[in-house]
Amino acid sequence: MIYTPLTIKALKLSYSLHHGQYDKAGVPYIFHPYHIAEQMTSEYSVCAALLHDTVEDTSITLNELSELFPKEVVHAVELLTHEDHVPYTEYIQSIKTDPIAKEVKLADIRHNSNQSRFAGANDISGTKLEQLREKYAAALEMLLAED
């Protein structure tokens, strides 16, 4: 991961906002954005990776983020925030318009596709795992497709 004052600010904020949250396997949620951030190649993509689920899964708003981070980071987070009324394929297509959002989403999909993350998670059925596998495979194909 790239450590700068800005990325450390994003790390601390993400940690604070996701504190007490757990993923489907019961692992502290912060490990997911941190894992994504470790794969990023620029200061802004590290910030976007750390913050990519904050608007969707915590109480912070895009307006609040815009007071703390550059517009490029906030725009990527906005694109990475999937609103319920937006079809998933439309959401993925919009991410392709921004290189930071696309880099983060590719890493996010790859991490979410690693089904070994669900080891020990008794409440996820084989059917659900197959649905997730298909969803992420299709999203990955869309993001990597040349337009």
Dist CA 104 CA 83 (whole Å): 17
Q: State the Cα–Cα distance between residues 1 and 39, nearest whole angstrom.
A: 7
Q: Which of 23, 43, 56, 64 is catalytic?
A: 56
Asked if 56 is an active-site residue, the reply is: yes
What 3-state DSSP class applies to 119? coil
Paired with 28 in beta bridges are 22
Tell me, yes or no, if 98 is annotated catalytic.
no
Catalytic residue among 23, 43, 53, 57: 57
Residues with active-site annotation:
56-57
